[in-house]
Each structure stands twice: as C-alpha cells, then as structure tokens.
C-alpha cells in the first residue's frame, strides 16, 4: 500500500475485518452473567469495539515491549493498560516537560503541550484518542482509528455448560463438601460464529495526533494476528479470517464507506444446516469497477 512511514497518514482507509470463534465466548456481557453479547431482537452475536481495541493494545504492547526489561519502545507505550492510573499517566507528560499543574494562566497551554507529548509517547492515544482532561489535565484527543461493534453473520446459540472443579477455595467449603472437594460452575460458549467488524482511518485526525504510516502497518499486523496471542479457555479458538482494506487516493476519500463495505458479501452455503466452520460460508468480493481513486487490498 502507498503509505508513508514518518509523516502522518495522508489517505483515508476503510476496512472490513472477519473473525470467528469456535466453542468459546468472544465477548462476555458482565450485565448478563458474562454470557456472550447478543442482539435480543435478532439473536445475532455482538463484540464490542472496546473488546477489539483491547486486543490491539495487547498485541502492540507484546510486539513493542522488551521482554527482558519490560520497557516499551519509544512512542509505543500503552495508555489504557491493566492497573494503570490514568492521572499518573498524565503526570508523566507534565514531569517530562517541566510543567506545573497549578500555574495560573497556563492551564490551557500546559494541557495542549501535555496532549502533544501523550500522542508522541502512547500508541493507543495516537491511534484511538483519549479523554485526558480529568484530574491532571492533558486535554482530549480524537483518534484517527475508529472501529464499530462487530456483528455475527447469523444468529448465535449460546450453550450453557456445567463444569466441575476438583478443589475448593477455603477449608469451610471443604467441610460442606463432605471431603469430596468438588465445586460446580457454569460457562457459556458459542459453538461457532463468524463476526464482521467495520473500521475507519481518518487522515485529518492522523495529522493532529501524528499517526504515521508505520503506525498504520502495525495496526494491520495487529488486526491480522491479535487473536494468536490472546488464547484463553474462555475464548476458545478465535481467528482472523480476512481483512479487506479500501485505500483512497485522497484524504477526503472517493466513495462513501458503506458503499465499499457492500462489496464484501457473505452467505451461508447450506441454509438448512447451522454453520460450524468458516468453510460453511462463501465470501464474495466485488473488486470490479471500483470507484475511481479507491484500491482494495485483501490481507490476513
């Protein structure tokens, strides 16, 4: 793809991500006992944008952090990470720049300087944006990369499975079990589902955050490989199946995103059988007569 490396991304991109799950829970809903997220009217499965962004952050952190020292590469620290105290993250900018948080008349200018520092040092701020105006004020950033909720191609069946554990947590529980030391539990799984997510890259916002061509390539790599480094018993087998990127020749773009997304069609091969594998679907890509100024790249 025609992208720069040091300069901010100068072209618009729209993309379609296809991923699936086998015997797992791709994104549990804490308000529903951690059951797989679902559209109650259609029965289609949902995966939140927050879930997908978390996986991207985790992948970037893995790739860009020195395993021996735990130190991230310059410009590739992660702002929203486990056990992070966000105001402490903001304070890093003030400390590095020698700014005072209580200086009268300098609050706005200090916040702007801190915002720029945060964009330079935190990859996810530069990519997704962040509200950093709480407590220690580092301003607000609109990110150039946005991802919508993913939706399954068909209705999902959430199967509730009973499980046993050959151990208990406390001595009191052991006494109640009459020495059996077994505890019961439940987990919900989706036998199979193919999900589709849409995403967008804005060059206008990339110019404000400094999101570069190198950053863009790292994003594509994360989307292609993020499930490979995110295995767990709860999520079963999850895989990126395809990534379709529509590259525009200009910053404004040459066609509406929804018209481009319609060129990626997915259909179940056998309507009488529930899908249980990616091979049960046919993916059709209409890459003929693309609008002038739009190029389609199939990745993944």
Per-residue pLDDT of 19-47, as tens digits, reads 999 999 999 999 988 999 999 999 999 99
Q: Is the pLDDT of residue 215 over 90?
A: yes
- Read off φ and ψ for residue 281, nearest 5 degrees: -115, 155
Is this structure's pTM higher than 0.85? yes
pLDDT of residue 159: 86
pLDDT-based confidence at residue 179 (cuts at 50, 70, 90): low
DSSP 3-state of 295: strand
CA distance 163 to 185: 5
* Contacts of 240 by beta carbon, 8 Å cutoff, 6+ apart: 17, 18, 19, 223, 224, 225, 226, 227, 300
Residue ranges of domains in the chain? 13-161+187-299
Mean pLDDT of the 269-282 span: 97
Mean pLDDT of the 273-284 span: 97
Confirm if 89 and 72 have CB atoms less than 8 A apart.
no
pLDDT > 70 in the chain, percent = 93
**More confidently predicted of 110 and 151:** 151
């Amino acid at each position: 793809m025609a992208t720069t490396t040091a300069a901010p991304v100068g072209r618009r991109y729209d993309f379609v991500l296809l991923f699936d799950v086998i015997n797992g829970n791709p994104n549990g809903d804490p308000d529903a006992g951690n059951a797989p997220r679902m559209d109650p009217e259609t029965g289609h499965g949902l995966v939140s944008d927050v879930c997908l962004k978390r996986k991207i952050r985790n992948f970037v952190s893995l790739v860009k952090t020195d395993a021996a020292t735990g130190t991230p590469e310059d410009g590739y620290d992660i702002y929203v990470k486990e056990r992070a105290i966000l105001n402490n993250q903001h304070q890093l900018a003030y400390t590095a720049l020698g700014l005072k948080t209580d200086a009268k008349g300098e609050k706005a200018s200090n916040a702007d300087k801190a915002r720029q520092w945060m964009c330079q040092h935190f990859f996810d701020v530069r990519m997704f944006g962040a509200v950093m105006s709480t407590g220690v004020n580092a301003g607000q950033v609109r990110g150039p990369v946005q991802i919508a909720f993913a939706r399954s191609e068909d209705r999902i069946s959430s199967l509730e499975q009973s499980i046993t554990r050959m151990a208990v947590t406390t001595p009191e529980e052991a006494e109640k079990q009459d020495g059996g030391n077994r505890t019961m539990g439940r987990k919900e799984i989706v036998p199979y589902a193919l999900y589709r997510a849409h995403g967008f890259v804005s060059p206008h916002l990339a110019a404000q955050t400094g999101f570069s061509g190198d950053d863009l390539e790292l994003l594509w790599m994360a989307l292609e490989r993020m499930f490979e480094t995110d295995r767990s018993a709860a999520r079963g087998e999850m895989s990126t199946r395809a990534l379709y990127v529509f590259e525009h020749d200009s910053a404004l773009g040459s066609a509406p995103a929804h018209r481009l997304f319609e060129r990626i069609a997915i259909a179940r091969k056998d309507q009488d059988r529930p899908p249980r594998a990616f091979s049960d679907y046919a993916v059709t890509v209409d890459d003929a007569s693309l609008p002038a100024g739009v190029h389609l790249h199939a990745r993944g």
